[in-house]
Each structure stands twice: as C-alpha cells, then as structure tokens.
Structure 1
C-alpha cells in the first residue's frame, strides 16, 4: 500500500528544536499533524505558525495511562515521530535513582507507550511509518551521560526488534540518531561545561563541535529532512535502521 494522500502524523516533544522542525517539514510534505507535548501553550504557538491542519495534545509521554487516553481520542495515526526526550549529565557514582528512572521513562518508556498506542491502527491500514529520535549516544558511549546513553541505546534496540515484528505489515520502524544539534539541549550542555570547567562558552562549543568531523553542529532541519525521507514511499525498504545524522561522527 502507498502512503495516504494526507497522512496523519503525530510528533511528540513537538514544541521546539528538532520536534518543531519535524512538524514544519511534515506539514510542508502534506501531512495533517497532532503536536504532543507537556505544555499546551507552546504547542498552540507552534500550531499557529504552521500552515496545516494541526491539533494539540498536552500529554506526558512517560505516563502510560495518559498516553493511552490521549491517543484513543485521535484519528488513525499513519506516521509517529517519537521525539520527546530529556538529557542530564552526571557521573555514574552520582547518578541518583530519580535521574536514572526519569531519563529512561521519558526517552525509552515514552517511545514504547506511544508506539504501542498506534500499532493496531497501522496494522489495520496496512501502512505506517514510525521514526524514533534517538542520538549518537544510542550508538556510542559518552562520559557522564550513562542514563541518557542507556535510554537511547534502548530506543535503538526497541527500533530494531519492532521492525522485525512488523516487517510484513507495511510498517517501517527506524531511528534517527543526531549528533550535537543546535537546540536548547545543546545550550544546556554548553552551560554545564562552562560551569564545571571554567572554559568560555566559545571554548565549550568548540569542544563539542570538534566531535563532528565536519566541525559543525547539526541543525534541526538536518534531522527533519532525514525523518521526512524515512516517512516517504521512497524509503519503503528502509526499516530497522539507526541512521546517524552527525557529520560522520558515527560510521
């Protein structure tokens, strides 16, 4: 089955950064949208700036019951972009139970809850695209972010396992793994380096950019373009992949 003429796409963590860029790209590609996040006000502001049919759902994807209730009220979902996520840094010895459980809940369990909510509908329609926004931290290790890296490795493993389960159902499941990207999350990482090391903001940014062989940060639009392609009919043979959008950092 081919992609529907006007697919309904759900984007979680849609309020800013990568999520907002993906929402705008999918709208430009002819999708109707449901924007999911924890703060309705910021989602409504984004919806007002997009020339497309947009609905807004305030929901914490880490809460299973909230996800079930939110998705039950939606029209059938053709495209699911699991973008909601959170990152914090701490050495393993200082990683609290709360930090560990919180990062797994948002990054990994949220991806599972939302995916589970759309699978039956996609199977019935015979077509679906699920794209999980992971990270290069799901492909390699970084110091001081063990909880985040563990969650994102879990997202990649979940992606591969589900892709096998639904391979004959017309549904593809892929992960996109950005490197350091110009978002609020990057700004927080830079601020943390400045605070912990005394380096200047420019030095901290240069340190992170140096991980990318292109010596630059990824843009949200770079990520959105990869996601949009994975949602196209041209990517029908792509499933179970963890695609690194990182300027060659991960090969």
Structure 2
C-alpha cells in the first residue's frame, strides 16, 4: 500500500487481538513493524509468525517505558496505539483504582507513546498516528463508565492533536471498533457467564446484538482500516473517528 512500504511502524499492544492483526496488516503492506507490550511470549510469537520484524517489552502505563523502547527499536514513522484494557463495574462500585487503571492504559499510555514518537515525525515531515479507540468513544454503555470516559478522552486527544500537526505532514486518526472477537471480549463473556449463569453462547450473542450485522467484528477488519489510514491514500483523512461496527453507531 503506497506510503507504508519501507516505513518503520510501532504497534503497542501488538502481541494479541487487534494490535496483532494491525502488525500483520502493516507487515504485509511492506512496513518494518516493531510490536510492543508487557508480555514477551506473544510478542515473540508475533515475530516468529512473520507478523512483525521485532519486538520490545514496554508497558505503556509505566513512565518512560515506551521512550526507552524507542531508544532501542528506533523512532517510527507510523504509530498505532492499540494497547488497551476494559473492566466493568457499576458506577458506584467503580473505585479510584479502577478509574486510574482505565485512564492509564487507554488514554495516558497513548498520550505518552505519542509524545515520545512525534518529534521524529515532525522532523521528517511525515507521520501517521492511529489510536484504537472503541464505539465506547462515540456512545455510552452501562457498567463501563471508566472505560468509556477514557476512550472518549482518547478521541479528544486524537481530534486536538490532529489540528495541531495538520500542516506538518502528519495525520492523527482513531478507529472505533464495536465488540471485536478478541481476548478482551472473551473476558467480558466470562464475566457475564460468572455473574448471570448464562451459557457462553448466550453471552457472546448478548454482545453481538449491539452490531446490526448480529456478529462480532473480526480483528482483521479493524486492521484493514488502520492500514488505510496509514497509507498515502488517506493523506486528507485527519482527526477522524472511523467506526468499524457493522452500523451500530449512526
């Protein structure tokens, strides 16, 4: 895909789920991809499978961890902030610790990695930042106030920074997947089963019903949208939130 070939791309949370699918898509498009994350085993597996050229251990919630990874891997022309986590609880049981976890991984981690990667993009006069948000950045869901607030914040970061760098050859966009067939959804299914006693099939159907197509989104579908946003074909797409959700969000 024009504009991606030969570029260095870094994908946070690149060992599993959407991050892994993004790494594979960018690798197929000709990028040299470095995946980062907290766990070595899935990152190493991504490299061994040919989905990435290399990996670095880096927890985006730890101050300075991503910047240290860049010092080893090299600065990217493409940054995809795919690291994320989701926890649920009724609002009155959402304590400060849960709020902090959701904000740190879903918002502050993306801000820190972008802050570390952006100077080199500005120097080069070309760059792509894609934040993996969620339909929770575009609407509300019950029992995930901290997660939804963090993803709304990530979308605000996307829109504001896109305007700040609009004349510098850099675009900043977000993809907003609906419920996607990843480990995060599997964990949500397990919680539904544990709390309600419903079957796993019923729990998955409960999540899939949000999608007018009555299914979960595939990680590869999200990755294809990310790859487009990283290409020269998307040079005029900036500050956008693109929903990949089967039509859930109007």
Alignment match, 1:46: 46
Deviation at 1:41, TM superposition (A): 2.2
Structure 2 contact 60–112 (Cα < 8 Å) conserved: yes
Query: Cα RMSD (Å) of the superposition?
Result: 1.2
Report the number of matched residues. 249
Distance 2:66 2:78 in 1: 16
Match of 1:153 in 2: 152
Flag structure 2 segments of 5+ consecutive residues without an equivalent. Answer: none
Structure 1 residue 75, shift from structure 2 partner: 2.1
Partner of 1:60: 59
Give the TM-score, by structure 2 length.
Answer: 0.97
Q: Write out per-residue CA displacement over residues 3-60 of structure 1, whole angstroms, 9 at most, x where no aligned residue.
A: 36400000000111111111110000000011100012221111010166x1211011
TM-aligned CA deviation for residue 64 of structure 1: 2.0
Map Cα deviations across residues 165-201 of structure 1 (whole Å, 9 max, x no partner).
0000000000000000001111111111112222221
Distance (whole Å) between structure 2 residues aligned to residue 162 and residue 152 of structure 1: 15
For residue 175 of structure 1, give the secondary structure of its aligned residue in structure 2.
strand
Q: How far is 1:206 from its partner? A: 1.3
User: What TM-score does the superposition give when structure 1 sets the normalisation length?
Assistant: 0.96
Whole-angstrom CA distance in 2 between matches of 1:69 and 1:192: 35
| Distance in 1 between residues matched to 2:245 and 2:150, nearest whole Å | 19
| 2:35 equivalent in structure 1 | 35
How has the CA–CA distance of structure 1 residues 5 and 199 changed in structure 2, closer, same or farther, with 3 Å as cutoff?
closer
C-alpha distance in 1, partners of 2:159/2:217? Answer: 24
Shifted more, 158-167 versus 35-44: the winner is 35-44
Match of 1:91 in 2: 90
1:3–1:127 Cα contact (<8 Å) kept: no
Counterpart in 2 of 1:194? Answer: 193
